[in-house]
Amino acid sequence: MSTNPLLQTIEALAKEKGIEPDVVIQAMEEAVLTASRKYYKTGEELKAKFNPENGQIELFAVKTIVDEVTDPALEISVAEAKEIYGEDAEVEAGYQIEFPKRTDVLGRIAAQTAKQVIFQKVREAERENVFAEYNQRVGEVMNGVVKRFEQGDIIVEVGRVEAILPRKEQSRAESYAQGDRLRAVIRAVGKGAKGPQIVLSRTDPALLIKLFEQEVPEIYDGTVMVRGAVREAGDRAKVAVYSRERDVDPVGACVGMKGTRVQAIIRELRGEKIDIVEWSEDPVQFVMNALSPAKVQRVTIVDDKDKVMEVVVEDKQLSLAIGKKGQNVRLAAKLTGWRIDIKSEEEKRKEVEAQFGAMEAAAAEEAPAEGVVGQPEGEASSGGEAAAAEASAEPAPAETAERHE
């Protein structure tokens, strides 16, 4: 560590704000430059540099060497440059010369201006660091302390920064008081007028997945994978898990011995019910699993392109499959990505009977129509048969004559 008082101050400020010392030095140089321009007002090209040897900010007026001077404030002739550096000095047009200028004459107002510039630059650098740090951590779970409330939103102190938990990202089953500790997932990080805005969420499915990663070692080491999660925060959630090893039961690993693992997550989510189902490559099997705890009789793919399935369950299982206000089937549809149409055995039987009835009615309507079309041919044959009967009833003339004799 340096023994220079200014350098010590710079290093202490950089450490406190979590920024590089070079950022503070650059801010100080710019501050002295701003104050000097306000004081001198000469139109010169000023330059401020930090001298690490004496720990001072030095000020210079920069002039360019030219053959013919048109602006004395910015230019100097070759002849004048040789007078300064000597006739033997290698000076050519285009070179620049720095002339030292005093900084001890800047005064109190200039010093105040410099102070403001330093604070502004340091604050901007600090905000950039915070944004860069937390922007890479979107999706991570953070621990924080409730600091205050603003129009329904909760301001949470996370480390050395403040984050916001908007009302729409809060679970309706939860309530907090000032000073309470909470865990939330970083949903987004944005740049605002007052610095980076870190948005937290307690309703995002990513929070559920991260909690499972923390509680279930098999998920953390990659043996068991979470293939999807959906939530209706405060009420119910569904998680699809898959095991890479045959010997490991993914659902059992997540539930834990006597439900200890999943119960820890339920407590964290303030009693939210969690259904853990096994993921399957077969969409039919996956839908059957996703409708748990209801037992499915059969599943039919109605439209593979639009992803529509028809599911038939026992009559007593219908309400369980649909769930409270359609919650179970709604979550299952979100989890699987298929539109699910649930029917009971009775409803399906009636539907099939109605279809058969419609088919029989259609067949009955077609039969009389065929008879009407063949009627003229029948009439013709009937007439022919009558004529033949008459012909056989009348004896031939020769036979009559023989009988008469």
In this predicted model, what pLDDT tens digit does every residue of 98-133 receive, in sequence order? 888 888 777 777 778 777 877 888 888 888 888 888
CATH homologous superfamily, domain 291-405: K homology (KH) domain (3.30.300.20)
pLDDT per position as a tens digit, 18-41: 788 888 888 888 888 888 888 888
Strand order in the sheet with 273-278: 224-232, 236-243, 273-278
Model pLDDT, residue 198? 92
CA distances from 23 to 30, 42, 128, 288, 301 (A): 11, 28, 12, 59, 63
- In this structure, whether the domain defined by 204-279 belongs to CATH 3.30.300.20 is answered with yes
List, for residues 51-99, the tens digit of each pLDDT value: 887 778 888 888 888 888 888 888 888 888 877 777 666 777 888 888 8
Are the beta carbons of 137 and 210 closer than 8 angstroms? Answer: no
pLDDT of residue 383: 40
Question: Residue 79 corresponds to which tokens in the numbers above?
Answer: 């002849």
The sign of the torsion formed by the CA atoms of 198, 202, 204, 207 equals: positive
> In 234-358, at which residue ranges do the beta strands (DSSP E only) sit?
236-243, 273-278, 296-303, 308-313, 339-344
Q: State which amino acid sits at residue 62.
A: V
The residues with which 157 forms a beta bridge, in sequence order, are: 145, 162
Q: Domain 5-132, what architecture?
A: 2-Layer Sandwich (3.30)
Instruction: Give me the residues of the chain with pLDDT under 70, please.
Output: 1-3, 87-89, 367-405
Q: How many angstroms separate the Cα of 53 from the Cα of each of 60, 88, 213, 276? A: 17, 30, 53, 66
Classify the C-alpha dihedral 258-288-228-153 as positive or negative: negative
How far is it, in rounded angstroms, from Cα 57 to Cα 44? 18
Virtual CA dihedral for 221, 223, 227, 232, nearest 10 degrees?
-60
> What is the domain partition of the chain in residue ranges?
5-132, 137-201, 204-279, 291-405
Asked, colleague to colleague, whether 204-279 and 291-405 share their fold, the answer is yes
Q: What is the CATH number of domain 137-201?
A: 2.40.50.140
- Distance, CA of 319 to CA of 291 (rounded, Å): 12
Predicted pLDDT at 212: 94
CA angle 273, 168, 195 (to 5 degrees): 130
